[in-house]
């Protein structure tokens, strides 16, 4: 069924089709209409779920952690400061190996306050052990939310589905809503290995010592480090599962093919632009213009950010001479995180392109196509050495008056 709706509604529809059973959410711009849509779906009995209007984001994820531990499919969504308020729970959900799915309507973080889009919120959570997928348009939002549960429940790792606040959350686009019966074929009911059960009592996630200890049967049990290593190891193996989920989805629903990276005109490209989220679609117009000017250039959208698909990245980029990484986030005091990750993946490869980093769009600063065109025309033309200092696009220091 084709509809024209907002990105937030696309996400809500995905949650409904995925048959989430316990939903907890606290409103925060620009996620709010997503939670409102879900409460409307539950209130009108269009969706069979418990909707719990919690009193904070920290509690929202607490509800999901507990509901998932008790064996029910759980969902929440947030943005920016809400995500940070639940930060300790983010780490908890991953360490507890719970297949929770959460949507992030990407928004910049205070201080100072901003409600507009950038990626600092989800990027700041990249070390937590959550799988991170970035959607570029409304179709990808609804499809990725559904696939997220398949992935999460296969690998017992929570999944964050990120989409740009306002640019996607609040804009209206046409997209296809898959049939519920097809989604049911793709995504069976949640069957955890263990759910809190008085008939089978267990104590979950209590204090875990640094060293190994025997369990009640006398067998040597793992300690904290082994348990955490297991999360990391399973995350690395999740790259295959993300691809498998996409293949299955393509078979049943008919869409997919770019589970890890989304290349556009990269096959013979000398220069490749890389970014997360909807910016990659905006860059396609820039690429087309530059191709008409004779530049052999393409854009690579990164869909799976964590676990980092390093092999796929190396494969996609090592043939280029120049790589330009555009980021709406920054690891303060150093450089863009995606830039660091890509450089790290390319380290030691036989062929290493020149890589340049641009920070842009922070706090919703408009990203002008003309600025993108200039950046991509000049990068590589001038610098044939690696530049570690990120460039800034759209920064307006020179326009500020007085002697700040």
Partner 1 sequence: MEKKIFGRMKSHSEPGPGDAGKTGSWRVLRPVIDLKKCIPAKSGKNACFLCWLYCPDGVVTRTIPPEINYEYCKGCEICAEECPADAITMVEEAEFIEMED
Partner 2 sequence: MTVKTTTLNLPEEELVHPGNRACSGCGLSLIYRIGLKALGNNTILVVPPSCLTVLQGLYPIASTRLPCLNVTFASTAAAATGVLGALRAQKNDQTIVAAWAGDGGTSDIGIQSLSGACERGENLIFICYDNEAYMNTGVQRSGTTPQGVITTTTPIKGKLQAKKDVPAIIAAHGLNYVATASASYPLDLFDKITKAKTIPGPKYLHVHTPCPAGWGFEPRYSIKIGRLAVETGLFDLYEIENSVHRLTGASEKLLKKKLKPVTDYLNTQSRFRALSKDRIEEIQKQVDAKWNGYRSSLS
User: Residue 156 binds which one of partner 1, partner 2, none, with CB within 5 to 8 A depending on kind?
Assistant: partner 1
Selected binder of partner 1 within 215, 292, 366, 401 (CB under 8 A)? 215
Q: By CB under 8 A, is residue 243 in contact with partner 1?
A: no
For residue 243, the surrounding DSSP H or E stretch is helix 224-252
Beta-carbon neighbour count of residue 52 at 10 Å? 18
User: Residue 288 binds which one of partner 1, partner 2, none, with CB within 5 to 8 A depending on kind?
Assistant: none
Q: Minimum Å distance from CB 253 to partner 1?
A: 17
68, two tokens: 């998932």
* DSSP, res 398: G
Q: Minimum Å distance from CB 309 to partner 1?
A: 18
Selected binder of partner 1 within 44, 45, 181, 203 (CB under 8 A)? 203
- Return the residues of window 318-377 that contact partner 1 according to CB under 8 A: none
Q: Strand 220-221 to strand 213-214: parallel, antiparallel, or no bridges (unpaired)?
A: antiparallel
Q: Are the CB atoms for 108 and 114 separated by under 8 Å?
A: yes
Selected binder of partner 1 within 96, 101, 260, 266 (CB under 8 A)? 96
Q: Are the CB atoms for 116 and 107 separated by under 8 Å?
A: yes
User: Residue 49 binds which one of partner 2, partner 1, none, with CB within 5 to 8 A depending on kind?
Assistant: partner 2
Selected binder of partner 1 within 4, 230, 247, 395 (CB under 8 A)? 230
Q: Are the CB atoms for 117 and 108 separated by under 8 Å?
A: yes
- Return the residues of window 256-295 that contact partner 1 according to CB under 8 A: none
For residue 99, CA distances in Å to 3, 69, 84, 95, 107 come to: 29, 9, 20, 11, 24
Q: Minimum Å distance from CB 120 to partner 2?
A: 23
Q: For residue 380, is it left (φ>0), alpha (ψ between -120 and 50) or beta? A: left
User: Residue 155 binds which one of partner 1, partner 2, none, with CB within 5 to 8 A depending on kind?
Assistant: partner 1
Beta-carbon neighbour count of residue 124 at 10 Å? 18
Q: Which stretch binds partner 1 (CB under 8 A): 37-45, 56-64, 191-199, 317-325?
A: 191-199
User: Residue 53 binds which one of partner 1, partner 2, none, with CB within 5 to 8 A depending on kind?
Assistant: partner 2
Backbone angles phi, psi at 106, to 5 degrees: -55, 130
Q: Minimum Å distance from CB 177 to partner 1?
A: 24
Residues 6+ apart with CB under 8 A from 188: none
For residue 143, the surrounding DSSP H or E stretch is helix 138-155
Q: Minimum Å distance from CB 175 to partner 2?
A: 28
Residues 6+ apart with CB under 8 A from 364: 108, 114, 115, 116, 117, 118, 166
Q: Are the CB atoms for 323 and 353 separated by under 8 Å?
A: yes
Choose between 197 and 268: whose C-beta lies nearer to partner 1.
Answer: 197
Q: Which stretch binds partner 1 (CB under 8 A): 3-11, 86-94, 201-209, 265-273?
A: 201-209
Chain-centroid distance, C-alpha 103? 8
Round to whole Å and give the CA distance between 36 and 229: 38
- Binding stretches for partner 2 (CB under 8 A): 21-22, 24, 49-50, 52-56, 58-60, 62-72, 74, 88-89, 92, 195-198, 200-209, 213-216, 221, 223
Round to whole Å and give the CA distance between 148 and 106: 17
Q: Are the CB atoms for 313 and 261 separated by under 8 Å?
A: yes
User: Residue 226 binds which one of partner 2, partner 1, none, with CB within 5 to 8 A depending on kind?
Assistant: partner 1
- Return the residues of window 118-177 that contact partner 1 according to CB under 8 A: 150, 153-157
Q: By CB under 8 A, is residue 220 in contact with partner 1?
A: no
User: Residue 196 binds which one of partner 1, partner 2, none, with CB within 5 to 8 A depending on kind?
Assistant: partner 2
155, two tokens: 């690998």
Q: Minimum Å distance from CB 94 to partner 1?
A: 11
* DSSP, res 51: E
Positions that interact with partner 1 (CB under 8 A): 95-97, 150, 153-157, 188, 191, 193-194, 201-206, 208, 215-217, 222, 224, 226-227, 229-230, 234, 237
């Amino acid at each position: 069924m084709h509809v024209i709706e907002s990105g937030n509604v696309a996400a809500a529809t995905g949650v409904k089709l995925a048959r989430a059973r316990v939903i907890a959410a606290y409103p925060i711009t620009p996620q709010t209409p997503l939670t409102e849509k879900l409460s409307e779906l539950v209130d009108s009995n269009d969706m069979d779920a418990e909707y719990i209007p919690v009193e904070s984001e920290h509690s929202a994820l607490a509800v999901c952690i507990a509901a998932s531990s008790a064996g029910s499919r759980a969902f929440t969504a947030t943005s920016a400061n809400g995500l940070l308020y639940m930060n300790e729970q983010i780490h908890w959900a991953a360490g507890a190996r719970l297949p929770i799915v959460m949507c992030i309507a990407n928004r910049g973080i205070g201080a100072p306050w901003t409600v507009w889009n950038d990626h600092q919120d989800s990027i700041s959570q990249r070390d937590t052990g959550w799988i991170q997928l970035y959607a570029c348009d409304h179709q990808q939002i609804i499809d990725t939310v559904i696939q997220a549960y398949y992935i999460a429940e296969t690998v017992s790792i929570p999944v964050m589905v990120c989409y740009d606040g306002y640019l996607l959350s609040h804009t209206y686009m046409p997209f296809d809503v898959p049939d519920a019966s097809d989604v049911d074929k793709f995504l069976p009911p949640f069957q955890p290995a263990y759910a809190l059960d008085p008939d089978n009592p267990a104590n979950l996630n209590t204090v875990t010592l640094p060293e190994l200890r025997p369990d009640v049967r006398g067998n040597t049990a793992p300690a904290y480090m082994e348990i955490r290593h297991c999360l990391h190891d399973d995350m690395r193996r999740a790259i295959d599962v993300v691809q498998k989920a996409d293949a299955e989805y393509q078979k049943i629903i008919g869409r997919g093919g770019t589970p890890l990276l989304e290349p556009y005109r990269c096959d013979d490209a000398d220069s490749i632009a890389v970014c997360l989220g909807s910016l990659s679609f905006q860059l396609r117009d820039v690429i087309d213009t530059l191709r008409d000017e004779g530049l052999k250039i393409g854009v690579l959208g990164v869909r799976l950010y964590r676990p980092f698909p390093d092999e796929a990245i190396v494969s996609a980029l090592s043939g280029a001479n120049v790589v330009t990484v555009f980021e709406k986030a920054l690891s303060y005091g150093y450089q863009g995180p995606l830039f660091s990750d890509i450089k790290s993946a390319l380290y030691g490869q036989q062929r290493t392109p020149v890589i340049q980093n641009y920070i842009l769009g922070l706090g919703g600063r408009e990203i002008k196509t003309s600025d993108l065109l200039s950046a991509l025309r000049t990068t590589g033309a001038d610098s044939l050495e690696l530049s570690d200092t990120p460039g800034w696009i759209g920064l307006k220091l020179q326009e500020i008056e007085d002697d700040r």
